[in-house]
Amino acid sequence: MEEFPIKDFFTNENRDKYLNDGYFVVDNIIDELICDKINSYVQSNKDNNVDQTKEIDRDYPFSDILGTKVFINTIDESSKDNPFNLIDYEKITKMASFLSNKPMKFWLKKVYLKSAFQGDNEVYHQDYEYHISKGGNTDPFYDYIQCFIALEDHSIPGGCLNIIKGSHKSKRIPHDMVMTRNGISKLTVKPDILKQLSKGNNFKPMELKKGSCVFFSYVTLHGSSSNSSPLDQPRMVIQFMSKDKSHDEDKTQEFFSNRKLKEIKILELMLNHLKQE
Ligand SMILES: O=C(O)CCC(=O)C(=O)O
Ligand SMILES: [Fe+2]
């Protein structure tokens, strides 16, 4: 299939749509053949991939739920044989900058495997909550954007991404911390708020075709169900931040330590509860 003709993308109409909806779908952002190459590369390297990002939603060490793994591309990054290098990041960065109306730089790329029958759900959240305070004074809408690429066809039974249209207009929404079945903590918004914001047909399942993508902001609410289908549903996430911002190492460490303290508190409560029974 032909890649998306970039010249049709840069219109005020498209930007207004993004500013209004909080997301924007682009078909065929990468070629299906590139998706195939990335998928087989991820499958053959997933066990020796080294996560150097210290991000929190990676595979949990004592979990044997392999379908929840997150693959961070840290192997052979400069090699021509690495299929991740076939992606036209320059083009995608231009598109991200256009929608956000600010020059953007790429800062992280990762692949969620979301494997057949076992890929986990993702509780509903705004990405900003995972990065707030890492970069000092940032605007949650204009300083961050992500490009979410379907590396296979995405379907509702496979747990495609669901977006709550217009939710970015609520700006930052309070999140609670919950523990997931594979032992990692996640941040999520209360169901009452989610119900309220999805009213009027604002709940949008993203049944993306292989190689298509959706751009969405760091305050656009999103989440997904688990994969109850026989087909893998890998997705690649490319995250961008404003060129004039950066994540400060000390602030990031502080963010992670605070988070760890909260996790310990929840786990201690659970343990105490178990001991009392
Ligand atoms: O893959 C999913 O269902 C959710 C991924 C996500 O939260 C994200 O791309 O920010
Ligand atoms: Fe997210």
**Domains in the chain, CATH or no CATH each:** 6-276 (2.60.120.620)
Atom of ligand 1 minimally distant from the CA of 222:
7
Pairwise CA distance, residues 127 & 261, whole Å = 20
Going from the C-alpha of 119 to that of each of 69, 107, 145, 177, 235, the distances in angstroms are 8, 25, 24, 21, 11
The answer, yes or no, to whether residue 49 has pLDDT greater than 70, is no
User: Nearest 5°: CA angle at 141, between 140 and 142?
Assistant: 105
261 vs 254: CA distance, rounded Å: 11
Give the pLDDT band of residue 148 (cuts 50, 70, 90). Answer: very high
Contact 196, 150 (CB under 8 A): no
Q: Which residues line ligand 1 (CB under 6 A)?
A: 112, 122, 127, 146, 148, 161, 222, 224, 235, 237
Q: Give the number of residues written for the chain.
A: 277
Task: Tell me the ligand closest to 237's alpha carbon.
Answer: 1
Task: Report the candidate in 55, 246, 257 with the shortest Cα–Cα distance to residue 134.
Answer: 246
The answer, yes or no, to whether residue 67 has pLDDT greater than 80, is no
Q: Tens of pLDDT along 186-205?
A: 899 999 999 999 999 999 99
Residue that wins the pLDDT comparison between 190 and 64: 190
User: Which tops the pLDDT comparison, 173 or 48?
Assistant: 173
